[in-house]
Amino acid sequence: MIPFIDRLPEDVQNALLNSGRLKEYQKNEIVFEEHAFPAFFPIILNGQVKIVKYLDDGKETIINIFGPNDVMLIPPLIDNHPFPATCIALASSKILRITREQFLTFLHDEPEFSMAIIAELCKLLREKNTVIRGLATKSPEHRIIVTLIRLFKKVSVPSTASTMIPIKRRDVADMAGLTTETTIRVIRQLAKDGFIRIEKGKIYIDNLKGLQERLKLL
């Protein structure tokens, strides 16, 4: 899918860059916290962030991951409701922050910007639908593969041959709606069958096509 910025005419891109404030975040630094009201529209220029919820026992559950050229928080910015989760940098990241007032002005005055925002909302809905369909299946392998493919698309860089999934297997389990034990067992089998690679406890996807073909057989 075309990155958000690339959908915009050059003059709108320049206006965004000139009106926004570039902020650098270090790994594990909080970008925004759950329940805070949205003050800015973030555009990730490079790096990765995770969206997390904290359970009553303090356990962190990853809801989503965003990477370069991704945008976030569109619904809260539009309806001015609090952030539904916390955002934390997974790696050193540069984020362009557009104030909510500027965001609403662009939305009102720039048709191309409005259409790009609508396209992002459609992408979000499709992704939610994919997650729901994945969770509806009874097959743990199907759930794990759907989750790994989703993560791959979030964090992969076109110029690299291999992509590391930057979260723990416990986090993959949470995103797939499975126990950690089941997830570890499935991931080990996928690695044994050559669909993924595990090095020093990290999951690597070297062949997305092979993983997608495996998914079709389930």
CATH code of 29's domain:
2.60.120.10
Same structural domain, 117 and 153: no
71 and 114 together in one domain? yes
Q: CB–CB of 213/170 below 8 Å?
A: no
| Residues paired with residue 46 on neighbouring β-strands, in sequence order | 94
Bridge partners for 165 per DSSP: 203
**Same-domain pairing of 44 and 121:** yes
Q: Give Cα 3 to chain centroid, integer Å.
A: 13
Please report, rounded to a whole number, the percentage of residues in the chain having pLDDT higher than 70.
96
CATH code, 173: 1.10.10.10
> Is the pLDDT at 159 greater than 60, yes or no?
no
46 touches 68 (CB < 8 A): yes
Same structural domain, 39 and 124: yes
18, 81: one domain: yes
Among residues 112, 130, 148, the one where a domain terminates is 130
**50-74 as b/e, with b when 16 or more CB fall inside 10 Å?**
bbbeeeeeeeeebebbbbbebbbbb
Tell me the CA distances in angstroms from 178 to 56, 105, 173, 195, 215, one per residue in order: 19, 43, 5, 20, 17
Q: Is the pLDDT of residue 129 over 90?
A: no
Same domain, 172 and 72: no
Asked if 178 and 125 sit in the same domain, the reply is no
What number of CA atoms fall less than 13 Å from residue 100's CA on the CB side?
A: 13
Tens digits of residue pLDDT in 12-55: 999 999 999 999 999 999 999 999 999 999 999 989 999 998 87
**Which pLDDT score, from 0 to 100, does residue 218 have?**
78
**Claim to verify: residue 47 and residue 97 sit in the same structural domain:** yes
Residue 3 contacts residue 69 (beta carbons within 8 Å): yes
Report, as an integer, the average pLDDT of 75-85: 92
Domain that holds residue 74: 5-130
- Residue 68 CB partners (closer than 8 Å, separation 6+): 3, 44, 45, 46, 47, 48, 157
Structure-model confidence comparison of residues 122 and 134, the more confident one = 122
Which of 83, 106, 130 is the last residue in one of the domains? 130
65/19 same-domain check: yes
C-alpha 1, offset from chain centre: 14
Structure tokens at 189: 């089998």
Where is the domain boundary, 79, 107, 130? 130
Work out the mean pLDDT of the chain and round it to a whole number.
Answer: 89
Looking at the fold, whether 20 and 108 belong to one and the same domain comes out as: yes
Tell me, yes or no, whether 17 and 102 share the same domain.
yes
92 and 197 fall within a common domain: no
Say whether pLDDT at 182 is over 90.
yes
In this model, does residue 216 exceed pLDDT 90?
Answer: no
Joined together, the tokens standing for residue 54 give: 């904290």
Report the domain count for the chain. 2
Q: Hey, what are 212's tokens?
A: 């997608």
- Which residue, 169, 164, 209, is CA-closest to 188? 169
Give the torsion sign (CA, 102, 103, 106, 112).
Answer: positive
